Structure 1
């Protein structure tokens, strides 16, 4: 009880500091497509058939990533870039399942917050690995390394989001105006361009990795600063409680 009270006092004091406000946004999503996305989810969540459960939607999301992997494999095996368009379908399914699984549970008043949170994080990582494996199969020569770098950098971003949640009790999956939805759209556009022109994916993939690296460095610096603020607030709270 005392520890929980201390945590609550610390977060309350921290929330009033300019540093904390500057380092992180509030609890709302910050991605540029947030308004459109939320309206779409609100429309869809009411129309999900009763027999489709949250777990099934999570599976659909992961299946979408497997379809992206399949598109890469088929394009490599048969030398036909048109198979990459399967990846666009897969990314759409991934968004659908990932966006609706938790929302459906809350809409039906049967949420399992920590179960759903844990499952979602695990499946997000599985999806990232599947997509990275797909590019690993499709890529040529030393460009295969980009797939490994992408998975590592995306994993780094996921770790940052978990640590941020631990420190602030604010769970955010966005980095500024870019979130998972925007990343899916960017990947879908890249797949379409690669299908039409060919030989472009490695350059786009490299650009994404560089961008992710820069974002992760900046977010890590912000996270460490926030951790320092939290430590300072806890020391002050302990001193005041003594």
Structure 2
């Protein structure tokens, strides 16, 4: 059998606000993990958390108390999603191609479930939630293209990474609990809808700016040929 091709090392660009504090916590958790805990099991745990988030938002149509299930799901999702790669690197058992493929595939599915749950809850309209998903997918495409052309994987934008986004979503979910189903405030849109629209438009704007910047850099590295 022909051996699989080696992939070039990827530089992870992580400049989020909580990066240093989170790294210290993750290193301690990795050191404390028993041997039977593996990166794949942590990936599965993260997906269980995403399912919990989806189910909590769906069930909130019947009773707002189910939102606590979503909040617990965010915690489990952070634990699994943040620890799987960290544990592999800590134990020096990385599988670069497999890990990269599985991790980002699960991230995309988990994000789709979370956004679908928010859109099917009574708090945010689906079209507003889907704009947020579109923004996330554009930033994901930008990250994957950057890996291909520059060998860098940007994990943060505007000093916000996945952990900060989860905290923002937890805060938003607590706001759902506190304020309940909102009334329209402008053109039939509620305050929560406007937040979702704003977040989606912001991500799309960041994508445009980042794409333009990378294109200028690449144009300098590869000037037009005569």
TM-score if structure 2 supplies the norm length? Answer: 0.85
Please provide the CA RMSD for this pair: 2.2
Of Structure 1 and Structure 2, the greater helix share is in 1
**One of 141, 147, 150 as aligned partner of 2:132:** 150
**One of 172, 178, 183 as aligned partner of 2:160:** 178
Residue 73 of structure 2 is aligned to residue 82 of structure 1: no
| Cα drift, residue 223 of structure 1 | 2.4
Change (3 A) 1:27 1:110: closer
Change (3 A) 1:218 1:47: same
- Matched with 2:53 is 68
Of Structure 1 and Structure 2, the greater strand share is in 2
Structure 1 gaps of 5+ residues are 1-7, 9-25
Residue 201 of structure 2 is aligned to residue 214 of structure 1: no
TM-score if structure 1 supplies the norm length? Answer: 0.79
Q: Kindly indicate whether the alpha-carbon contact (under 8 Å) linking 1:65 and 1:91 is maintained by their aligned counterparts in 2.
A: yes
- Matched with 1:159 is 141
**One of 31, 38, 47 as aligned partner of 1:53:** 38
Q: Kindly indicate whether the alpha-carbon contact (under 8 Å) linking 2:15 and 2:159 is maintained by their aligned counterparts in 1.
A: yes
SS in structure 1 of the partner of residue 167 of structure 2? helix
- Map 1:1-242 onto structure 2 (within 5 A): 27-76=12-61, 78=62, 80-139=63-122, 143-198=125-180, 199=182, 200-232=191-223
- Matched with 2:3 is none
Change (3 A) 1:89 1:230: farther
Larger Rg: 1
SS in structure 2 of the partner of residue 171 of structure 1? strand
SS in structure 1 of the partner of residue 32 of structure 2? coil
- Give the Cα separation in 2 of the matches to 1:231 and 1:167: 11
SS in structure 2 of the partner of residue 41 of structure 1? helix
- Give the Cα separation in 1 of the matches to 2:136 and 2:143: 11
Aligned length: 208
- Give the Cα separation in 2 of the matches to 1:63 and 1:201: 26
Deviations 1:134-190 (A, max 9, x none): 02211479x211122122211111000011111111112111311111111101100
Structure 2 gaps of 5+ residues are 1-7, 183-190
Q: Kindly indicate whether the alpha-carbon contact (under 8 Å) linking 2:13 and 2:153 is maintained by their aligned counterparts in 1.
A: no
Runs of 4+ displaced beyond 4 Å: none
| Cα drift, residue 48 of structure 1 | 1.6
